[in-house]
Amino acid sequence: MTDIEQRLIEAARNGEWLECAAPDNVVRAELIRKLLLGHHGQLDPRGICLEGARIEGVLDLDRVNASVALYFVDCTIDEPIKVRNASLPDLGLHGGLCAGLNADGVRVDGSLTLRGGLRIAVDTKGGAIRLLDAHVTGDLIVRDVEISNTAGTALHMNGIRVDGNIFLREKVRITGHGGDGAVDLVGGHIGETLEFDDVEVSNSTGTAVWADRLRVAGRLFLLGQTRLSGGGGNAVISLSGACVDGGIDSGREVVLEAKAASAPVLSLEGMTAGGSVSLPPSLACTARGRRWECTNKGLVRLDDFGYTSLGPEWDWRRWLHLIRCHTPAYHASAYQRLAAVERAAGHDGTVRRILMAQQTDLRRRSPASLGGWMTRRFHWMWGVLAGYGYRARRTAAALLLVLTIAGALGWWAGQVPTRPGHLAAERVASAAAAAGIPCSTVELIGLGLDRGLPLATTGMRSKCDLDTTTRRGGAFTYAIWATQFLVWGLATLALAGYTNLVRKPG
């Protein structure tokens, strides 16, 4: 046993921090295992704290049930640490170089910390840091570290359970490779919050953060100068089927970048957020109004995404722009959820605008679902003249306009001559001597309304009518028939709007 190893045993018994320097800084991994197993006597509850050492050999702590914590500070660990299905009060890797950590199934009864300039670089499909099905009763803290894996996931935490928080903060740089994501949190459970703050996560061939079916009891924070980038056809961040009880907060400087133009930057399919939701501003431009195109092509999947309220910087206008300009395809649930949130807030006027935008997007991006050409034309007219049933006043105004046109046509016909002594509209002859007598202005307007109204009549045609035996009289007849057709259509739309027959999701 070397001098440095003897000093480590004494320090562990006394709860002291052992600092060492090259060349007398090599500690056998086997000694650390034996210390934790109690082969060198009882250790101080403060645990093993080793700084500046080089760990020789493989530190195999698989299934070790340790009663004291383990901390490495600025150490060089040439072989991956094995802590599978082990139990430790605390585990910390602070600074230095490490060849990886395989801690599947580990239980840490305090906090697991990776910080202080720690550098981990590997080339393995298994993951640089593996915490599959691990359980941390405190916090998982990743701060000021660089983790890279050129062959697989960098931070592999599938199925992890953290009773406290997961913090990724302050100069965290994570690089992964492949379809499982640079950071894998699939099926995990976080008892409090998940926070990304000043974090860079990149994966040139897949997802940056894969967190499908993740459960977060608190809020999800994307803060600071966080930049997440992904490649391939996968989303940069995937939260499909996840549940974030506290909602989502995002900072102004957060950037999500998809290398492939067709890939979404964020997938929230089937996700539920219990609180307010504010997404990164970079996802969508600040365009307002009725624009259906946007120069910012970042795509977001919102199919069946449920939330209860909007964040302060994401009002309904911005959400509506996101839905219609930044989703890969039309999906009714995105509009219906936004409408439900605004309806719960008592904004009925906003709800109508959202649902009208939904119908327009249905015709624009999913025309086949409406039927044939005639159905699509009727749908368009329905929107223009009736606001898809949500603008009954517009229908009434259009109906009044058409009836005015009908009356105007009747008056105009009384001013147009057809042959000497006769007009396109003139008094009905009760005797041959009455032929060619002009109608009064009231009679002419009544004639137009009589012919324009589909069911009701004014009785004016018994006194004044169109001369259909002439070309000009026939032309006016055709024109008034066209207005009658419009009146029928508008009346149908008005009835459908008032009876809610057309108010259903597309």
Q: Convert 110-165 into a string of H (helix), E (strand) and C (coil).
A: CCEEEECCEEEEECCCCCCEECCCCEECCCEEEECEEEEECCCCCEECCCCEECCC
CB 302 within 8 A of CB 267: no
* pLDDT computed for residue 502 by the predictor: 45
* pLDDT computed for residue 500 by the predictor: 47
* pLDDT computed for residue 8 by the predictor: 93
* pLDDT computed for residue 375 by the predictor: 80
The predicted model scores a pTM of 0.81
* pLDDT computed for residue 499 by the predictor: 52
End-to-end alpha carbon distance in the chain: 77
Q: Block means of pLDDT (10 residues each) for the chain, length 506 residues? A: 90 91 90 94 93 96 96 96 97 97 97 96 94 98 97 97 97 94 97 97 95 97 94 92 96 90 90 92 63 71 93 87 90 94 91 90 89 80 71 69 81 86 80 66 83 70 83 85 74 57 45
**Sequence-distant (≥ 6) Cβ neighbours of residue 433 within 8 angstroms:** none
How many other CB atoms are found less than 10 A from the CB of residue 404?
15
Whole-angstrom distance, CA of residue 21 vs CA of residue 75: 10
Beta strands, E only, 2-124: 17-19, 26-28, 48-51, 54-56, 70-73, 76-77, 81-82, 87-88, 91-94, 97-98, 101-102, 107-108, 112-115, 118-122
**Sequence-distant (≥ 6) Cβ neighbours of residue 95 within 8 angstroms:** 73, 74, 75, 115, 116, 117, 118
